[in-house]
Amino acid sequence: MSNLPNEIEVLNFHSIVDDRGSWLRVFDTLKSKNSDLCFSQISISNNILKGTLRGLHFQKIPFSEYKAIACLNGSIYDVVVDIRKDSVNYLKWYSTYLSSSDNKFLLVPPGYAHGFLTLEDDTQLIYGMDKVFSPKHYSGIHWNDPKIGVNWPDMPKVISDKDSSLPWL
């Protein structure tokens, strides 16, 4: 992972495994710096093929959202981009790998665009967001914008028309 700014967190959770299977607490506000975080929406992203790219997405003010992301199956290369114009880290990007076996949860605060590239077939993610989705406030940045320069591990093989047509900076 690249050096994360203080406001982005990666939380590790311990899985309990026995003869029945496993149990994992997916999120615990006491482990986060943001102990007031409360989810308004929980979504699941199913991705059939390795090389599927989604992003870079965000919601504009007043619907800027806190996102919590974990990988339920497969693995991803996860990217966040600081889009706060007044930040010293404006347009800097950060990355991490998430997989179904690492018990990690990535917490992304408002003011960051988010995207990922699947590294395996049949990759599934769970998202928690603290704001409801507002189509009027939805936005994004082209995944390959040279002003950001994300170093993706592979070229994407599957990108939606919507994501392919996201604006360049």
Across 38-103, the runs of DSSP E, i.e. the strands, are 41-47, 52-59, 67-73, 75-82, 93-99
Phi and psi, residue 31, nearest 5°: -85, -15
Measured distance CA(6)–CA(17) in Å, rounded: 32
Tell me if 1 sits within 8 A of 96, measured CB to CB. yes
Q: Output the average pLDDT for the chain.
A: 88
Measured distance CA(58)–CA(140) in Å, rounded: 6
pLDDT of residue 1: 42
pLDDT of 21 > 70? The answer is no
Tell me if 67 sits within 8 A of 114, measured CB to CB. yes
- DSSP secondary-structure letter at 142? -
Catalytic residue among 66, 77, 112, 127: 127
pLDDT of residue 95: 95
Banded pLDDT at 18 (limits 50, 70, 90): confident
Residue from 68, 4, 44 nearest 125 by CA = 44
pLDDT in tens, 47-89: 999 999 999 999 999 999 999 999 999 999 999 999 999 999 9
Give the gyration radius of the chain's Cα atoms.
Answer: 16
In order of start, what are the domains of the chain with their CATH numbers? 9-164 (2.60.120.10)
CB atoms within 10 A of CB 160: 11
Catalytic residue among 57, 97, 137, 142: 57
Reply yes or no on whether 57 is catalytic: yes
Mean pLDDT of 142-167: 97
Give the bridge partners for 116, in sequence order: 54, 78
- Quote the pTM value: 0.86
For residue 63, CA distances in Å to 21, 58, 136, 144, 166 come to 38, 9, 9, 25, 19
Q: Tell me the one-letter amino acid at 23.
A: W
